[in-house]
Structure 1
């Protein structure tokens, strides 16, 4: 009798119907546990300490969070630093980046441990594209605040840092960030992407609507092209990862719950 009922249930599924028994079994299936490993990658003109508010939320929610401190000396070196941290993860990992860090995770995300990518007001170039080239197609309002040193490194004029990079942060906090910023090799912005991971990995994207370092229109293009799950934060500056840590953490946790390798 049980065998007969099972065969009927199978036949109904094949025919496109769902039996009451099958529905009850599906409801009884426990939801998949979220991915627990999160790796955060910072962008240009900052360091990993800017992730502290997001780190605190994710850690409190039970995630294993690591922060990459890449040298900002070249895309290859920065990708290598990120892979060094990915290698230390004990399973599937969500890779998150802000700003130039998006180019880094676009390359490093090909690693088999990476289950999903989260871009926070970040670049997501395609194969052969550069940040400089995409920035020329979609000019940013504050692009002229970036200055280059005689030896090829770039930084943001501290007098303009608050207005252009972090307008929604308290002035004193933005000033400290300006004075402690990491100078970034200019070549990182003109190095073409070779293997864009967003073409084969699911992605989530946060657009900062008041971003003056990366055009919000460029951010929207990146998200649409990658087929990312997109959210937009009204009034957010380029420092959205610091000014809106709760929203950023919620997007990361959404990725951790829904990336296919977490199932």
Structure 2
């Protein structure tokens, strides 16, 4: 059965009220009740990028783990995620932000994973060239701010503040910039061997003011995977600027809403 794709505004999300949808809508299949959540960060960040979301999840009694993604190669990143999934007992919701949507798609076939959540994330199909897919949409401004020191890539401070996290308080954005983890140059050209969203119930949070991944590309990926979808008037870092809404979506994916 196809999932009911529902779009919410951030204001309505905050109040828990959904936008109206056609009367003859399909019923969203119930997801397995999960007690665990595994969070994966993307480029220009580390595991601390989930700190504003984690307390909301823990308050609902969920066991939460934030993976420290090595950002070296896709197989190594997927292995780091898989090792955390191996430690979970029972159904687990796997959540990826930004580039780590590829990790979620790759590692999400793990038998412990009950549902997937993509937060302004890449979601290519198995073997698909994400760079070619993204080239069909306007080039995001943040891409011009990536700088390399040999094989290591980072986002410049100006791009971090103006394109990556423009809706955060400047002091907080600068602190996050200081904690960003470098990525290996070849990482962004690798392809996934799996597309877990083809077999697992999926959820997607679109950032409508994103300057890292084009919002229309996010909408395309969310629609293609038949994801239960929300839209937030947010920059790329909705997990930091709209943590309650992101937590609510994750909680929905655990079957607790």
- The question of a shared fold, defined as TM-score above 0.5 by the shorter chain, is answered with yes
Contact 2:31 2:254 survives alignment (8 Å): no
Residue in structure 2 matched with residue 62 of structure 1 by the alignment: 61
4+ residue segments displaced more than 2 Å: 31-34, 130-135
- SS at 1:232 equivalent: strand
TM-score, scaled relative to structure 2: 0.85
Structure 2 distance, partners of 1:145, 1:132, is: 17
In structure 1, list runs of 5 or more residues that go unmatched.
Answer: 1-30
Alpha-carbon distance, 1:176 to partner = 1.3
Residue in structure 2 matched with residue 183 of structure 1 by the alignment: 182
TM-score, scaled relative to structure 1: 0.83
Q: Which has the higher contact order (CA 8 A, sep 6+)?
A: 2
Contact 1:40 1:51 survives alignment (8 Å): yes
Structure 1 distance, partners of 2:104, 2:31, is: 25
Alpha-carbon distance, 1:179 to partner = 2.0
Residue in structure 1 matched with residue 141 of structure 2 by the alignment: 141
Contact 2:92 2:114 survives alignment (8 Å): yes
Indicate how the Cα distance of structure 1 residues 220 and 32 shifts in structure 2: closer, same or farther if over 3 A, else same. Answer: closer
Residue in structure 2 matched with residue 200 of structure 1 by the alignment: 199
Contact 2:140 2:211 survives alignment (8 Å): yes
User: What pairs up with 1:64-103 in 2 under 5 angstroms?
Assistant: 64-103=63-102
User: What pairs up with 1:226-245 in 2 under 5 angstroms?
Assistant: 226-234=225-233, 236-245=234-243
Alpha-carbon distance, 1:149 to partner = 2.3
In structure 2, list runs of 5 or more residues that go unmatched.
Answer: 1-29
Contact 1:99 1:121 survives alignment (8 Å): yes
Residue in structure 1 matched with residue 39 of structure 2 by the alignment: 40
Residue in structure 2 matched with residue 253 of structure 1 by the alignment: 251
Residue in structure 2 matched with residue 10 of structure 1 by the alignment: none
Contact 1:133 1:190 survives alignment (8 Å): no
Residue in structure 2 matched with residue 153 of structure 1 by the alignment: 152
Deviates more, 1:93-102 or 1:172-181: 172-181
Answer with 1 or 2: which has the greater Rg.
1
Alpha-carbon distance, 1:160 to partner = 2.2
Alpha-carbon distance, 1:190 to partner = 0.6
Contact 1:121 1:238 survives alignment (8 Å): yes
- SS at 1:142 equivalent: helix
- Taking only aligned residues, the RMSD between alpha carbons, in angstroms, comes to 1.7
Alpha-carbon distance, 1:51 to partner = 0.4
How many aligned positions are there? 227
